[in-house]
Structure 1
Amino acid sequence: MKQKETENKSEFLFQKKNYMLMLVGVAVIALGFILMAGGGSDDPNVFNEEIYSFRRIRLAPTLVLLGLGIEIYAIMAKSKKA
């Protein structure tokens, strides 16, 4: 009887640590995309140099890649239960 009870018990694929890391990764990716937004011009005849700022060219893509790295780590991190 105990064998059936243990077989029917469902478990999550990841632990709480993995899910928290995934949420942090999604937040970092979202922040990167938010920082990348804007910088355009409403008038097509006027060029806005703001599109080439450090924030949009270096910082935002770095945050997106960092967030993807966090996501990969969160998925690959082993759980402590064996």
Structure 2
Amino acid sequence: MKKDNNIQKQEFLFGKKNYLFMLIGIAVISLGFILMAGGGSDDPNVFNEEIYNWRRIRLAPTLVLIGLGIEIYAILLNPKK
């Protein structure tokens, strides 16, 4: 019986640089969601103005969108260049 010497080498779909940018994007998105959390009131009859502060309304959604942009860049990045 003859053995086949044409063994194909398994390659990843993305390169190391792509995965690095993906991890950075996930970290930025996670930071955005962490900054967005909280601000509620323990008593449902008391309104807490903290829910409308700058961090939750402007900073956190901006970080999530930047993270999504980094993810798109990581997917479209050509690892061979």
Identity of aligned residues (%): 76
Equivalent AA in structure 1 for residue 52 of structure 2: Y
Equivalent AA in structure 1 for residue 28 of structure 2: V
Give 1:30 deviation, angstroms. 0.2
Q: Distance in 1 between matches of 2:27 and 2:79?
A: 22
1:28-49, Cα deviation, whole Å (9 max, x unpaired): 0000000000000010100000
List structure 1 segments (4+ residues) > 3 angstroms apart after TM superposition. none
What TM-score comes out, normalization by structure 1 length? 0.90
Hey, what does 1:70 align to over in structure 2? 70
Give 1:79 deviation, angstroms. 1.7
Q: Does 1:56 align with 2:34?
A: no
Please tell me the root mean square deviation across aligned C-alpha atoms, in Å.
1.3
Hey, what does 2:22 align to over in structure 1? 22
1:18-77, Cα deviation, whole Å (9 max, x unpaired): 000000000000000000000000101000000000000000000000000000000011
Q: Distance in 2 between matches of 1:24 and 1:74?
A: 9
Equivalent AA in structure 1 for residue 19 of structure 2: Y
